[in-house]
Amino acid sequence: MSKYQSQIGRSLPRVDAADKVAGRTRYLTDIYLDRMVYAYPIYSTISFGTIVAIDPAPAAAVPGFITTLLALDIPGENQVGVIIDDQPLLAAETVRFKGDVIGVAVAETESAAHRAAQLVQVQYVEEQPYLSIDVSKTAQSKYIHSSNIACTHRVDRGDISQGFAAADRIIEADLVTPYQEHYYLEPQGCIVVPETDGRYTVYGSIQCIYYVQKAVARALGIPFSKVTVIQTPIGGAFGGKEDVPSELCARSALAARVVGRPVKMVYRRHDDAQLTSKRHPFQMHYKIGVTNDGRLLVAEINLVENAGAYATLSSVVSYRAAMQAMGPYVIPNIKVLSTAYYTNLPPAGAFRGFGSPQATFGHERVMDHIADQLGIDPVELRLKNVLRPGDMTLTGHQLKASVGIEATIKQAADAADWVNRRRKNTSNGRYRFGIGIAASHYGNCLGAAGWAMDGAAAKIQIRRDGSVTLAYGLSEMGQGANTVITQMAAEVLGIAPERIIVLDPSTDLVPDSGPGVASRNVVMTGNAIRNAASQIVPVLKSAAAEMLETDPDRIELRNDSAEDTDSGNAVNFNDLANHLFISNRPMDSLGWWHVPALKYDPETGVGEAYFTYSYSTHIALVKVDSLTGLVQVEKIWAAHDIGRAINPAGLEGQVEGGVAQGIGWALTEHFQTKNGSVITPNLSTYLVPTTADVSQVQTILVEDPEPLGPWGAKGIGEPAVIPTAAAIANAVSQAVGAPMDSLPMTPEIVLNALD
């Protein structure tokens, strides 16, 4: 009997890497179809007001012009809001930000469509816009929607007045975090192809194919069954392609319906910055009561989010921020209020972390304020309060297993030589050094608020020659999903990963699996694969037993074959697959997994907010130039409890990329608007980290298995970015000797703090 080699925990090279290094991968932008035309949005040039007249006539002068489409050309419903129905597909009366889409211009070439869109004349009656949270709060009338509040969430647990009465010290802080632009390299884009039978095929750089299916069907007034959505390889998304593609696809579908030809729409970079969603800016107030020896007794937290002109995913971001507002600590009395306000700015929406990086900036800065005021070491303070198995989270969720936060703090601190580095003299002439820590917990999947759609499918199909195809409902967006699910499927079938091809996600392949977000893939698709295996593996074993003339119980699927564990006789997987076919056995199975029911009270925010949590600790070592104010991150130690590492090298890649985005958000990425216009739309004004800006990263994987995770695994995509900026701010605070309570920490701001 040969030795069994597990696919789990193995750094299998990415299944898509060869095509990508050779430039063979066909992204949406690379697809050219016969008779294809181009569409481009016509959008508002004012921040807030009413449309009084639209004159498309000047556009007709552009050679190659075909048509323009406005709200009245929508055969179905003029609505594209993903959670709250507040967003018209094409604005007909009110426009709510510079970039609110009013219509679509269609032409034979991309440049003609763009030019035609610019030439459409729109007249408005302008209103005074609300260009900040503070102004939005003061509105008495003329609201952006029926009110200026997009949503609120709360947590109300224990008794905060008793808590404050019992506290030795009360510590307060105000924290501010800015917008962040995704700056995915591949722009937003889609192609809609009209088919026979009134059907449409949609291709695009899309995280959530089922959202797009609904949006297109809704706009055209046709059943979902007539809309097939196929995801093309995604050139970066980070949340930015969660809901926004629904807009592009539905608008392009309107054009495809009228023109009867394939329609391509790709946003130009400046428009991508002005029209699409970003990370929510937050204003936070923390009031914490502690004992003199550093135990957290009570927290009163007010989170205020800038939702921009439409709610998009604000309610999910606001929910997650509230549920995680005090981090991975025991706190018996807590009140959190989380409110998202509309403003006349580009919508804020989904961005890797979904409110967690902001909340983590809040609770981790405040933990350092507490440590400073009590004279306790920041690591010690955290370890004193950290969640352990049996403890309750801030929402009152009693944790049973896979609570690796303590291990991440200890292992990161050990690796960083925290005790010595923290004590060392932090100044060296021109340069000052600092070290800071931040810890966080991230609720896996959609949580109680999104439970109804927290199920996902995976389909295994065995071909007669022993090759295998895999289909699933979530998405590869660069994070390595296809590789990880290939490993998991190879593991359950006992076959070589090379036998498996992962199909591009399509709404035709598997049932609605909800959105490709929330670091769901490993857990959801992994469990769905195990469920599929529970159906097909017995079939494979019975076929093998028949071939080997033995009992199915004695068959093991491994080493690319089915082996009789007693005799050692084996059949190759090729022969086994063929035998399935000729013996009239099923050759595929559809697996499904749904997050188990969560006990949660939406009124009080108390209960099981998520079914499990990934835990992370980042420690940052920084060097601050006291002459220029420039901060260089020297090293990040990133410890992550991910339950179980399916592909350790891929995990490291996620962590390193997340850290780089965290460094950008903390230091270099200064997203700015002026009178509602984005004034940092390009790489010379919006500084995405380059090779010169990134630090060393040491990834530390803590494997504390989650009983409900496939092979014990939990999500990593978002946790990778969540604590970085807070750790850097804590380190810079130590280096400059002043609290850094807002981001980004640009050189000017750091110089001011040094004075």
Partner 1 sequence: MLYIEDIEYFDLVVIVNGCEVCRRVPTHQRLLDFLRDDLRLTGTKEVCGEGECGACTVILNGETVNSCLILAVEAHGSEIMTIEGLSHGQNLTDLQQAFIEKHSVQCGYCIPGMVLSAEQLEHEQAQPDREIIKQGLAGNICRCTGYHKIIDAVEQKGDR
Q: Which of 364, 564, 656, 706 binds partner 1 (CB under 8 A)?
A: 656
Nearest distance, CB of residue 656 and ligand FES, angstroms = 11
Q: Which is nearer to partner 1, 88 or 662 (CB)?
A: 662
Rounded Cα distance between 624 and 196, Å, is: 63
* 590 phi/psi in degrees, rounded to 5: -105, 120
Nearest distance, CB of residue 657 and ligand FES, angstroms = 8
Determine, following the binding rule CB under 6 A, whether residue 480 of this chain makes contact with ligand FES.
no
Q: Which is nearer to ligand FES, 136 or 205 (CB)?
A: 205
Q: Which is nearer to ligand FES, 236 or 705 (CB)?
A: 236
Vertex 112, ends 110 and 113: CA angle to 5°?
65
Q: Which of 236, 552, 705, 747 binds ligand FES (CB under 6 A)?
A: 236
Burial of 452 (0-12, 13-18, 19+ CB in 10 A): exposed
Determine, following the binding rule CB under 8 A, whether residue 659 of this chain makes contact with partner 1.
yes
Q: Which of 478, 515, 516, 715 binds partner 1 (CB under 8 A)?
A: 478
Rounded Cα distance between 553 and 538, Å, is: 9
Q: What does each C-alpha distance from 707 to 358, 364, 593, 599, 716 come to in angstroms?
A: 29, 29, 14, 18, 17
Q: Which of 415, 688, 749, 751 binds partner 1 (CB under 8 A)?
A: 688
Determine, following the binding rule CB under 8 A, whether residue 558 of this chain makes contact with partner 1.
no
Q: Which of 479, 513, 531, 578 binds partner 1 (CB under 8 A)?
A: 479
Q: Which is nearer to ligand FES, 24 or 674 (CB)?
A: 24
Nearest distance, CB of residue 442 and ligand FES, angstroms = 22
Q: What does each C-alpha distance from 400 to 519, 640, 715, 719 come to in angstroms?
A: 21, 18, 18, 20
Q: Which is nearer to partner 1, 167 or 721 (CB)?
A: 721
Q: Which is nearer to partner 1, 22 or 125 (CB)?
A: 22
Q: Which is nearer to ligand FES, 61 or 185 (CB)?
A: 185
Q: What does each C-alpha distance from 564 to 66, 375, 460 come to in angstroms?
A: 67, 65, 23
Choices 243-251, 381-389, 562-570, 679-687; region in contact with partner 1 by CB under 8 A: 679-687
DSSP per-residue letters across 34-69? TT-EEEEEEE-SSSSEEEEEEE-GGGGGSTTEEEEE
Q: Which does 498 bind (CB under 5 to 8 A by kind): partner 1, ligand FES, none?
A: none
Amino acid in position 41? P
Binders of partner 1 among residues 86 to 115 (CB under 8 A) are 110-112, 114-115
Nearest distance, CB of residue 466 and partner 1, angstroms = 23
Q: Which is nearer to partner 1, 543 or 697 (CB)?
A: 697
What share of residues in the chain are helix, strand, coil (percent, to 5)? 30, 25, 40
Q: Which is nearer to partner 1, 368 or 656 (CB)?
A: 656
Classify each residue of 698-734 as buried b or exposed e, where b means 16 or more C-beta atoms within 10 Å of its C-beta: bbbbbbbbbebbbbbbbbbbbbbbbbbbbbbbbbbbb
Determine, following the binding rule CB under 6 A, whether residue 478 of this chain makes contact with ligand FES.
yes
Q: Which is nearer to partner 1, 25 or 746 (CB)?
A: 25
Q: Are 445 and 425 in contact (CB under 8 A)?
A: no
Rounded Cα distance between 734 and 746, Å, is: 16
Q: What is the 3-state secondary structure (H, E, C) of 333-382?
A: EEEEEEEEEECCCCCECCCCCCCHHHHHHHHHHHHHHHHHHHCCCHHHHH
> CB under 8 Å to 152, separation ≥6 — which residues?
318, 337, 338, 339, 340
Q: Which is nearer to partner 1, 477 or 753 (CB)?
A: 477
Determine, following the binding rule CB under 8 A, whether residue 302 of this chain makes contact with partner 1.
no
Determine, following the binding rule CB under 8 A, whether residue 318 of this chain makes contact with partner 1.
no
How many of the chain's residues bind ligand FES (CB under 6 A)? 3
Q: Which residue is nearest to ligand FES (CB)?
A: 185
Vertex 280, ends 279 and 282: CA angle to 5°?
135
Q: Which does 534 bind (CB under 5 to 8 A by kind): ligand FES, partner 1, none?
A: none
Q: Which of 649, 749, 751, 754 binds partner 1 (CB under 8 A)?
A: 649
Secondary structure of residue 205 in the 3-state scheme? coil
What is the contact mask toward ligand FES in residues 167 to 206, using x (rule: CB under 6 A)? Answer: ------------------x---------------------
> CB under 8 Å to 635, separation ≥6 — which residues?
416, 620, 621, 695, 696, 697, 698
What is the contact mask toward partner 1 in residues 175 to 214, using x (rule: CB under 8 A)? Answer: -------xxxxxx---------------------------
Nearest distance, CB of residue 187 and partner 1, angstroms = 8
Q: Which does 479 bind (CB under 5 to 8 A by kind): ligand FES, partner 1, none?
A: partner 1
Binders of ligand FES among residues 18 to 77 (CB under 6 A) are none
How many of the chain's residues bind partner 1 (CB under 8 A)? 63
Q: What is the 3-state secondary structure (H, E, C) of 107-175?
A: ECCHHHHHHHHHHCEEEEEECCCCCCHHHHHCCCCCCCCCCCEEEEEEEEECCHHHHHHHCCEEEEEEE
Rounded Cα distance between 369 and 546, Å, is: 69
* 423 phi/psi in degrees, rounded to 5: -80, -30
Site residues (vs partner 1, CB under 8 A):
11, 13-14, 16-27, 29-30, 32, 62-63, 110-112, 114-115, 182-187, 233-238, 268-269, 477-480, 649-650, 652-653, 656-661, 682-684, 688-692, 694, 697
Site residues (vs ligand FES, CB under 6 A):
185, 236, 478
